[in-house]
Amino acid sequence: MSKIILHVDHISVQRYGQDHPVLDDVTVQFKAGQLVALCGHNGAGKTTLARAMLGLIPLANGTIYVEGQPLDRNISHDVQMVFQPPMAQIIGDTVFEELAITLLQRDACLPSNQLAQLVTDACRRVGLHVPLTRGIRELSGGELQRLCIAQALLSEAKILILDEALSSLDPDARTHLRQHLRRLAKESNTTLLMISHDMEDVLAADRVLVMEQGRLIHDGTPIDFFYGNSSDTDGTESPCESFGFEPPYLVQTARAYSRRTGHALTPVDEHQFVEELSNVTVPS
């Protein structure tokens, strides 16, 4: 069983002049190697939770532990965030410079041939296929997002927070990068916390967290979230709908099929949908 990397233990955050806490007694644990989606309507407290996990916000109550140690300034490099807008975190002039700076911060004596290889590998891992000499200002929005994710992965953080980091990508690039992130989480044993309003992002995650008015109100798998009790074929609302989100087209189609035929399908991607459909026994 993978170990607990980060433990948010009953934390509350109170902003000056506000009656209600912005985070209200939030408790959640994160294991290594998971892609976790964090969703919630505007103002629910998602970014505040992320910033608290980075150690950037004073807590009114509770403690955050990273690998069992209370979070403080000395160990906050274990948690990294891809900020919005992405340019806010860029220092270098070219793709190579940007990634080399991060690598050299880790090991200032890296030989140049190894440095070049590691930069090339980092770009490949996130699907950034541009010359390493390309100027940062010449990158498209999607390429810049990939560069920021590559940089955050090179920092060897144990928890990487992506706050709406896929939002500027076109739908194809978004689908591709989502699958990539899922693989990266497993391969590098990094926990990726993806803050998103996009239900397609949520569908691709291993786990779904939902926040409302500063509280964590749901923690489960995408199947729980989108299909609820999988034996329901009578149109009962799923948690996704009851929290006020619109399920992705794939989920709506599968649920319509289940209601109409009485065969409960719970796919989270197209391949699974086809497989589940092909296993349905049709009465002769």
Angstrom distance (rounded) from CA 211 to CA 141: 28
Q: State the minimum distance, in angstroms, from the CB of residue 219 to ligand ATP.
A: 16
Task: List, in order, residues 6 or more apart from 58 with CB less than 8 Å away.
Answer: 13
Q: Among residues 43 and 131, whose Cβ is nearest to ligand ATP?
A: 43
Beta strands in 73-180 (DSSP E): 79-82, 159-163
Q: Among residues 16 and 281, whose Cβ is nearest to ligand ATP?
A: 16
Residue 270: Cβ-neighbour burial (10 angstroms; 0-12, 13-18, 19+): exposed
Q: Could you tell me where the DSSP H helices lie in 135-238?
A: 141-154, 171-188, 199-203, 222-227
Q: Measuring CA to CA, how many Å separate 215 from each of 13, 172, 242?
A: 11, 33, 16
Q: State the minimum distance, in angstroms, from the CB of residue 44 to ligand ATP.
A: 4
Q: Among residues 22 and 150, whose Cβ is nearest to ligand ATP?
A: 22
Residues that bind ligand ATP (CB under 6 A): 15, 22, 40, 42-48
Give the 3-state secondary structure of residue 210.
strand
Q: Among residues 18 and 133, whose Cβ is nearest to ligand ATP?
A: 18
Q: Among residues 186 and 215, whose Cβ is nearest to ligand ATP?
A: 215
The residues that bridge with 193 in the sheet, in sequence order, are: 36, 161
Q: Among residues 22 and 202, whose Cβ is nearest to ligand ATP?
A: 22
Q: State the minimum distance, in angstroms, from the CB of residue 211 to ligand ATP.
A: 6
Q: Among residues 47 and 102, whose Cβ is nearest to ligand ATP?
A: 47
In this structure, what is the dihedral angle of CA atoms 230, 234, 235, 238, given to the nearest 10 degrees?
-30
Angstrom distance (rounded) from CA 256 to CA 254: 5
Q: State the minimum distance, in angstroms, from the CB of residue 243 to ligand ATP.
A: 13
Residue 236 φ/ψ, nearest 5 degrees: -60, 140
Q: State the minimum distance, in angstroms, from the CB of residue 280 to ligand ATP.
A: 39
Q: State the minimum distance, in angstroms, from the CB of residue 165 to ligand ATP.
A: 13
Q: State the minimum distance, in angstroms, from the CB of residue 181 to ligand ATP.
A: 20
- Number of neighbouring beta carbons within 10 Å of residue 121: 12
